[in-house]
């Protein structure tokens, strides 16, 4: 069978899923289940993958879909639901209103700054689930809250979860991690400045919506972009998004308070004491502390916690590696522990918290089906060779113009797998191989895979499942996909041009 035919057949699950979500508006848990079945049939009949290997590949995907991915979604929504139950969310809303009542700036603080921070320290959907749920509680339209957080959760994912996507890419390609980090940051710097403006205009549904907040929006972007660029160049992959997001939040909140103080008409507001404020935010403060302390930034504690794990051989194919499940040092578990401790200090009884957790799990049944199906599909596509078939033909078709499409391959990897890291594992070595064959800087094309992968986050069914879970919109995945896909296409197209132009000079 020719490569072109295999290419066309391999695209069926991807194109079919896009049509099911975006055109037919089939709920994600049904669309992903159907697409998984189609992928199984193709793997068996076209790629001649033995049934046992198809089954074990799907099982590996299902296990990873539940742990660590689904546990993070449950944890994030549990934190929010408990905050509603204990009434601390009302205090949080009052405090945020105390900083600013301007919805454009609230989006910059929560979706952009706070979301970027959560992505930097935890990843796995926390950056969408937690800010989206808070925005919805502030009175934002739930559909808007879901979409805005998906668009915001793009560029921070390159250095998400303390730099795992880039450090993994460096390992699979053999490239120097510091040089690679700088190339990734360089490709994303323009987008980090532009996206806050897009978020503001999305909030007001008008280009004119930027009026009056140009300065704070520019500052919010630059405060993220410049520290990330410098940290990536001189310190490597672990800290760029973390330091960038904290700087952005700090600058945005500082300027927002200055703007509020300068307003000629002051509105009456309820004052929140420092004690009540800290108590309301305590679960989130503990989440921050737990995730940071258990990360690679603290290697001693990280080593102890990561040692509590199980390695289970699931996929039985050639070159298979055991699936490792970390039982403590995974964001979902840390978030749940932080929420239980914070909730107890807030006065919630253990029985109440268990009840809220149980209700949260029941609420997310359809999301679990979506996540398990899409990750199982991704594993089958990767192990069977479908994804390789797509990538190789794209390389053959584009030739020396490949850099123009390099980010698209990264985006495709994230759309299928829901993970920048997985996209880099799938396509990182391919990008370097092509770069060497067409005499382009391999660091530049490897970085393009990561940068392109960030675009895929906003349309990945896995990410959309997180957003719908957080905002109570399960079943509306098609609406969200249709709103984010246009941003994704524009993003990856502009990035492709930048990568191609850069490849001519670097």
Which tens digits make up the pLDDT trace of 158-212? Answer: 998 778 889 888 987 889 999 999 999 999 999 999 999 999 999 999 999 999 9
Distance CA 41, CA 54 (A): 10
Neighbouring-strand partners of residue 82:
none
Q: What is the pLDDT of residue 353?
A: 97
Among 150-154, 415-419, 434-438, the range of highest mean pLDDT = 150-154
Distance CA 74, CA 500 (A): 41
pLDDT tens for 402-421 read 999 999 999 988 988 788 88
- Look up residue 275 and give its two tokens: 């004690």
Q: Of 114 and 296, which is predicted with more confidence? A: 114
Distance CA 245, CA 114 (A): 7
Angular region, 59: left φ>0, alpha ψ -120 to 50, beta rest: alpha
Query: pLDDT confidence of 266, banded at 50, 70, 90?
Result: very low
What is the crossing angle of helices 350-363 and 71-85, to 10°?
Answer: 130
Q: What is the pLDDT of residue 264?
A: 46
pLDDT tens for 357-391 read 999 999 888 888 988 898 898 889 889 988 888 87
Task: Tell me the three state secondary structure of residue 326.
Answer: strand
C-alpha 320: how far from its chain's center?
26
pLDDT tens for 19-37 read 988 888 888 889 889 999 9
Q: Is the pLDDT of residue 296 over 80?
A: no
Query: pLDDT confidence of 1, banded at 50, 70, 90?
Result: confident
479 CB-near residues (< 8 Å, 6+ apart):
25, 143, 473
288 CB-near residues (< 8 Å, 6+ apart):
117, 121
**First and final C-alpha spacing in the chain:** 38
96 CB-near residues (< 8 Å, 6+ apart):
106, 109, 110, 134, 138
Q: Is the pLDDT of residue 269 over 70?
A: no
Mean pLDDT of 463-488: 90
**What is each CA distance from 194 to 218, 245, 469, 481, in whole angstroms?**
8, 15, 28, 21
Q: Of 1 and 65, which is predicted with more confidence? A: 65
Could you tell me what percent of the chain has a pLDDT over 70?
98
- Indicate whether this model's pTM tops 0.85: no
Q: Is the pLDDT of residue 213 over 60?
A: yes
Distance CA 216, CA 108 (A): 9
377 CB-near residues (< 8 Å, 6+ apart):
13, 32, 35, 36, 39, 61, 416
């Amino acid at each position: 069978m020719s490569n072109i035919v295999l290419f066309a057949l391999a695209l069926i699950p991807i194109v079919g899923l896009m049509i099911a979500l975006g055109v037919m508006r089939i709920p994600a848990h049904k669309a992903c289940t159907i697409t998984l079945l189609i992928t199984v049939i193709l793997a068996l009949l076209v790629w001649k993958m033995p049934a046992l290997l198809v089954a074990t590949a799907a099982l590996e995907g299902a296990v990873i879909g539940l742990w660590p991915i689904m546990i993070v979604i449950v944890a994030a929504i549990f934190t929010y639901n408990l905050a509603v139950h204990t009434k601390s969310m009302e205090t949080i809303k009052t405090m945020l209103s105390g900083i600013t009542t301007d919805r454009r700036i609230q989006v910059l603080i929560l979706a952009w700054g706070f979301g970027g921070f959560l992505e930097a320290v935890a990843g796995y959907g926390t950056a969408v689930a937690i800010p989206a749920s808070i925005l919805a509680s502030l009175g934002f339209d739930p559909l808007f809250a879901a979409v805005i957080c998906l668009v915001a959760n793009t560029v921070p994912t390159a250095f998400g979860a303390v730099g795992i996507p880039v450090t993994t890419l460096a390992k699979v390609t053999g490239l120097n991690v510091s040089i690679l980090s700088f190339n990734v940051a360089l490709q994303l710097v323009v987008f980090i400045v532009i996206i806050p403006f897009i978020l503001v205009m999305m909030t007001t549904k008008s280009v004119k919506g930027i009026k009056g907040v140009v300065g704070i929006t520019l500052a919010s972007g630059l405060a993220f972009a410049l520290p990330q660029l410098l940290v990536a160049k001189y310190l490597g992959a672990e800290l760029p998004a973390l330091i960038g997001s904290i700087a952005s939040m700090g600058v945005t909140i500082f300027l927002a308070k200055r703007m509020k103080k300068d307003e000629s008409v002051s509105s009456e507001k309820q004052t929140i004491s420092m004690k009540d404020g800290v108590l309301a935010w305590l679960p989130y403060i503990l989440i921050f502390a737990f995730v940071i302390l258990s990360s690679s930034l603290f290697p001693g504690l990280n080593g102890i916690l990561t040692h509590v794990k199980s390695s289970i051989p699931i996929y039985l194919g050639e070159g298979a590696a055991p699936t490792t499940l970390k039982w403590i040092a995974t964001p979902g578990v840390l978030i749940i522990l932080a929420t239980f401790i914070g909730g107890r200090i807030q006065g919630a009884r253990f029985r109440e918290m268990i009840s809220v957790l149980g209700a949260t799990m029941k609420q997310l049944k359809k999301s679990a089906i979506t996540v398990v199906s899409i990750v199982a599909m991704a594993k089958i596509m990767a192990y069977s060779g479908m994804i390789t078939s797509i990538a190789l033909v794209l390389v053959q078709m584009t030739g020396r113009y490949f850099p123009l499409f390099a980010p698209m391959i990264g985006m495709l990897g994230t759309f299928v797998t829901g993970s920048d890291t997985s996209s880099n594992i799938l396509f990182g070595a391919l990008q370097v191989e092509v770069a060497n064959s067409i005499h382009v800087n391999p660091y530049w094309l490897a970085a393009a895979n990561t940068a392109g992968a960030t675009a895929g986050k906003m349309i990945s069914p896995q990410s959309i499942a997180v957003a719908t879970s957080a905002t109570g919109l399960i079943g509306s995945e098609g609406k969200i996909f249709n709103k984010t896909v246009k941003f994704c296409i524009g993003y990856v197209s502009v990035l492709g041009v930048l990568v191609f132009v850069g490849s001519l000079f670097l």
